[in-house]
Structure 1
Amino acid sequence: MNKKNIFLGIGVFSVLLLALNGWIFSKDKSAFARVQNVHLAPAKVMDIKRTVMAKGVVVPAENEAFYVQDRLGYVKVMEVKAGDEVTPGTVLFTYENPELEEEVRSLEQKKEETAVKETYYKDLQTKLQAQADALGTDKKEETKKNQLEKEQAKAKMESELAAARNSSIDEQLTKLAEEKENLSIKSNTQGVVKSVNQGASEGSMPIVEIVSKDDVQIKGNLTEEDSLIVEAGENVVILSPAMEDKQWKGTVSQFQDAKKGNEGSAFPFTVKMDQANNLKIGQHLQLKLKPVIREKAVVIPMSSLIKSKGKPFVYTVQEGYLKKWAVRTGLAYGKWIEIKAGIRPEDKVVSDPTSYLTENTEVNVPTKKAKDSKKDAPH
């Protein structure tokens, strides 16, 4: 009896399992029969105009830092202190270089020795010439005269060698004098001594730092996209959040190498002031660069754009199936993105693709009501 109940239970369970599988299969089949709805948006043509904005900070127009150079010797005399005003040519500090001094003394001694030799041999030439002139014309004195001429020629050669050595020593002394002059470090900037660190060593902090007193400039950063647009020489309107009623004019003067940060690369640039100002070093500002204008740009909704491994693409629908199109993007403009290549005007793209969509998937494009289509039109 128990065995019959067991077999009966197994049979009932099997029937229920088959029924459940059939129900799931029917549901799945109906699910497969359904296709996902997607909405399309046409690529449009419009004029893009936007202003590049950046943040900046006021810095000295000139900032000159001097570091210790061990090859020049050791710092003997500090000629300035923090707060001193300097001009180009002001001596800031002076090195002492014992090896250079010793080399100068050695050359000066050699110069004296060669000068004595040169004088000696010149006098010897004169003496020998006088002896030769005093001789007669007989054969015996003619032989002695020839010997004196040989000695005179040798004396002349020694005199000329001494003169050449003296000339060479003079050139070396001139060069050492220039090196000695370079031991006095001078300012190239008109400004104020910001700091003096007499105990600084090579490779550490500056021994002297100078900043311009009144003249200032502005340092700012651009995004990678804006760095491709902004060029040196362009006009800048400078705004201060602290002084809303004031603005100044400037010019983009130069760019520096990109710096990597947590949010991508930043592209530093400098703005030169074009007019008198009362800006203070360290003051934060807003920089408004000239508008960027792109006439008749092809744009699509920003939401249509998908990126895979850093490369942008969009989906289109062809004969009821999704197709993937690679594109090349340009300027962002509100909820629109410029397409430089890959899409033509009036081409339609999936406006809000989901992560579940894949190429060659069958989709349905419902008819869009006229009033809805006006919502996405650019202004």
Structure 2
Amino acid sequence: MKKKKIMIIVGIVAVVLIGLFILPNLFGGKPSASSDQKAATEDLGIEYFEVPDIEQVYINGVVQPEQAEAFSKDAKMTSTPEIKVNNGDVVEPETILFTYEDKEITKEIEAQNNTLSKLATKKQNIYKKWNRAIDTYNKTKEEDRTTNGAAIDEQHQAEVDGVDEEILFSNETVADLSTKQFISTKAKFKGRVSIPEVKDENAPVLRLTSDGLYVAGKVNEKDLMKIAVDQKANLSVVSSGTTVTGKISYIDDNPPEAKATQGESSNAEGSMSNYNVKLSLDSLEGIKNGYHMQATINLGDSKPIEVPKKAVHEQDGKKYVLVNDFGSVIRRDVQVGEEKGENTIINSGLESADRIIVSSKKEVKEGDLIGEGTDESGEAAPAAKE
């Protein structure tokens, strides 16, 4: 029995040894991650430029027009508005955008016009009666006359004057109502007209948006005291990577009022308030209303980043660099400044601790997996930034 147990133990050890050493060698087992990574970087021979690691604040936001107004239908708008501008027009302040008829006013004008017509008939009848009275007076013998001609004239003239007063009042009422019958809506600022294609009851008549754009973002209370108005910012479009420079133009001192759900306090423990921030843009090229952007604020006195010129590439008129980001090659669009010898100043587009690929023995491109590896000197390259 003891011998049998020994044989079983020897068999188990043999199986383990075969699994660890023999099978991997037979089937070309996978080398360790470190050896594979080292081989890859040695083959590529990548030279890096390290962006200085500086403290930064990130602000995510959405591009919005500086001024915007949607012109909705109101209760008085009982008729279809007559639009006086075209879709896409850029209009100046006080330009008439559309007019509409207030039909209630129109009804009042019609009623006043009916009154004027009746007053005109009444006046004509007074003159007819006046003329008949004069004729009767002239045909009556002098000794039979009970009144004189002057009294007849005075009586009928008073009646005419009374009707004329009513006519004057109605005419003034019509004139006043006529100024309110057609209501014109004017532009309050210079902007671009947008007319909805779908005309449903909830759609506005049109929208007016200014050509000036800014980024509306939020910053949490942890970073609020680190930023200030007029502080420079580097901004990039999330979808396209387009980069521009700008600055903080406004910081709200009060957080927006949070709406607490039932049974939950708006000041729940562990949560942080967010504050509204506005950022102006130095250029609107490649920027559209509604784009999502990320702003990077460099804290402290940071020097301009000088990158070797051979690390900067160009495609379709856009400058970019390739960055080793956690072992994969990504593209960062950048805005370049002046050249200084063999280097180029990068105004925006880079992030703190970016590892820029300057050169390589074998071509690398966006999307390649290259690992962290070693640099050209053979020393271990710094870990990708967190």
Q: TM-score, normalised by structure 1?
A: 0.43
- Relative to total residues, which structure has the larger strand share, 1 or 2? 1
Q: TM-score, normalised by structure 2?
A: 0.42
